[in-house]
């Protein structure tokens, strides 16, 4: 097949996107596909795959810190890219992007306007899943347990004193503060009780740096589980154990800082519940092809759904490939399955 692999993009998860895409590119070429790699922020200029992967923006680089400027400056280039002849005679677009623009339905919308088939969920499901506030409302409506939360908007001033009272009365401390529409734990903080509200203030400001909307969520102490859904099947449950208890960006993408157990060492009834709930969440948000659903299992074996990821990571340390392998599916076969399901889905 003739495939365009989209990587990079104007997201704070740009580095992770390129890492995922390296693995995807290798699998696609090994399977005999003709693959063109593009980073849409380059516009319609032809750039080789080697150059794109070589020049990946690192998280601690000055370019990464100016990602907001990149997003603004690249809008026209992205439109030029999608509208260019790069996409002529292409069978499908494989989305190796993560985060804003890549995972929130905007890129999917542009590709549909261009008449292109692409991997993963459609426009509406992508937008719903990316919006943590709205997706939690839908999950709760579907009868799925999710931690209590408060949503803040930067359109309205935040009264820290009143917010602190509300947190104490509805959530309690510690609590989790995070951007409403970011992934990979970007901008996330765990806030402890603080008489002067300094932690709370700083955490909210950090989260607002990445999003116009912020979620303050009840902290659930427990075991971190995740369940991939591929097609209409929930794959083996993975337990995630970071070495110091906090599964942040560094622990996710640094070898040796987190242990993974797949299949997870959990009671059979919990495994069944996790798989059933993952499928239920996937369907409630209208997802298709594949997703990964994250949970916290507390000491009472209550399972809380944290979020649904519509374009989960595909790096060598990523979770969906680990679960697929435990289910007898190699990485290359997983990529082929995603293509097969994406070609046949309804657009």
Are 193 and 174 in contact by the 8 Å Cβ rule? The answer is yes
Considering the candidates 118, 247, 249, 253, report the single residue annotated as catalytic: 253
Residues 214 and 334 in one domain: no
Residues 339 and 316 in one domain: yes
Better-scored residue on pLDDT, 342 or 54 = 342
Distance separating alpha carbons of residues 108 and 92, to the nearest angstrom: 12
Nearest to 130 by CA among 7, 320, 312: 312
Whether residue 174 is preceded by a cis peptide bond, meaning omega within 30 degrees of 0, is yes
Domain boundary among 186, 218, 250: 218
Domain boundary among 198, 218, 238: 218
Quote the number of domains for the chain.
3
Tokens encoding 169? 């009365």
Instruction: Residue 302: give its domain's CATH number.
Output: 3.30.470.20
Distance separating alpha carbons of residues 331 and 328, to the nearest angstrom: 10
Considering the candidates 126, 309, 318, 342, report the single residue annotated as catalytic: 309
Considering the candidates 103, 217, 271, 307, report the single residue annotated as catalytic: 307
Residues 164 and 238 in one domain: no
Residues 28 and 88 in one domain: yes
Residues 244 and 336 in one domain: yes
What pLDDT digit, counting tens, does each position of 87-105 carry? 999 999 999 999 888 899 9
- Residue 195 pLDDT: 61
124 domain residue, yes or no: no
Considering the candidates 17, 182, 313, 323, report the single residue annotated as catalytic: 313
Distance separating alpha carbons of residues 193 and 169, to the nearest angstrom: 13
Considering the candidates 13, 103, 248, 271, report the single residue annotated as catalytic: 13
* pLDDT band at residue 59 under the 50/70/90 scheme: very low
Considering the candidates 104, 182, 271, 294, report the single residue annotated as catalytic: 294
Residues 203 and 325 in one domain: no
Considering the candidates 17, 249, 292, 342, report the single residue annotated as catalytic: 292
Mean pLDDT over the full length of the chain: 89
Distance separating alpha carbons of residues 128 and 135, to the nearest angstrom: 6
123 domain residue, yes or no: no
125 domain residue, yes or no: no
Residues 234 and 294 in one domain: yes
Instruction: Residue 185: give its domain's CATH number.
Output: 3.30.1490.20
**In the predicted structure, residue 347 carries a pLDDT above the cut 80:** no
Q: Span 334-342, mean pLDDT?
A: 97
Range of lowest pLDDT (5-9, 45-49, 311-315): 45-49
Q: Is 50 a catalytic residue?
A: no
Q: Is 244 a catalytic residue?
A: no
What pLDDT digit, counting tens, does each position of 265-299 carry? 999 999 999 999 999 999 999 999 999 999 999 99
Q: Span 55-59, mean pLDDT?
A: 55
Residues 114 and 135 in one domain: no
- Residue 251 pLDDT: 47
Residues 32 and 134 in one domain: no
Are 229 and 305 in contact by the 8 Å Cβ rule? The answer is no
With tokens 């104490």, the residue in question is 168
Sign of CA dihedral 40, 45, 48, 51: negative
98 domain residue, yes or no: yes
pTM for this predicted structure:
0.90
210 domain residue, yes or no: yes
Q: Span 247-263, mean pLDDT?
A: 67
Residues 177 and 228 in one domain: no
Q: Is 13 a catalytic residue?
A: yes
Distance separating alpha carbons of residues 31 and 8, to the nearest angstrom: 23
**In the predicted structure, residue 244 carries a pLDDT above the cut 80:** no
Q: Is 182 a catalytic residue?
A: no
Q: Is 302 a catalytic residue?
A: no
Residues 167 and 227 in one domain: no
What are the CA-CA distances from residue 65 to residues 20, 61, 85, 208, 222 (Å)? Answer: 21, 7, 32, 15, 33
34 domain residue, yes or no: yes
Which residue range(s) make up the domain with 102?
A: 2-118
- Residue 223 pLDDT: 95
Residues 80 and 203 in one domain: no
The count of C-alpha atoms lying within 13 angstroms of the C-alpha of 276, restricted to the half-sphere facing its C-beta, is 11
Q: Is 307 a catalytic residue?
A: yes
């Amino acid at each position: 097949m003739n495939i365009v692999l989209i990587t990079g993009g104007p997201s704070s998860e740009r580095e992770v996107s390129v890492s995922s895409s390296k693995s995807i590119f290798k699998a696609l070429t090994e399977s005999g596909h003709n693959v063109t790699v593009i980073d849409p922020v380059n516009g319609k200029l032809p750039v080789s795959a080697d150059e794109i992967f070589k020049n990946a923006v690192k998280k601690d680089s000055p370019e990464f810190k100016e990602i907001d400027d990149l997003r603004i400056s690249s809008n026209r280039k992205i439109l030029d890219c999608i509208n260019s002849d790069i996409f002529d005679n292409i069978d499908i677009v494989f989305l190796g992007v993560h985060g804003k623009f890549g995972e929130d339905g905007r890129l999917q919308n542009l590709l549909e306007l261009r008449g292109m088939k692409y991997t993963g969920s459609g426009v509406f499901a992508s937008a719903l899943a990316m919006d943590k506030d709205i997706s939690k409302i839908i999950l709760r409506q579907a009868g799925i347990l999710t931690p209590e939360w408060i949503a803040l908007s930067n359109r309205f001033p935040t009264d820290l004193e009143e917010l602190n009272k509300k947190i104490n009365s509805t959530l309690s401390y510690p609590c989790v503060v995070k951007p409403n529409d970011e992934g990979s734990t970007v901008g996330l903080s765990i806030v402890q009780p603080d008489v002067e509200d300094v932690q709370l203030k700083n955490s909210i400001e950090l989260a607002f740096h990445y999003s116009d909307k912020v979620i303050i969520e009840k902290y659930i102490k427990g075991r971190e589980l995740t369940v991939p859904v591929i097609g209409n099947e929930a794959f083996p449950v993975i337990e995630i154990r970071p070495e110091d208890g906090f599964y942040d960006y560094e622990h996710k993408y640094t070898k040796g800082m987190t242990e993974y157990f797949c299949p997870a060492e959990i009671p059979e009834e919990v495994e069944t519940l996790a798989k059933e709930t993952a499928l239920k969440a996937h369907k409630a948000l209208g997802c298709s092809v594949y997703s990964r659903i994250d949970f916290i299992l507390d000491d009472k074996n209550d399972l809380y759904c944290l979020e649904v990821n519509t374009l989960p990571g595909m790096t060598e340390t990523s979770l969906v490939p680990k679960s697929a392998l435990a289910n007898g599916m190699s990485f290359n076969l997983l990529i082929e399955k995603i293509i097969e399901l994406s070609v046949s889905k309804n657009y």
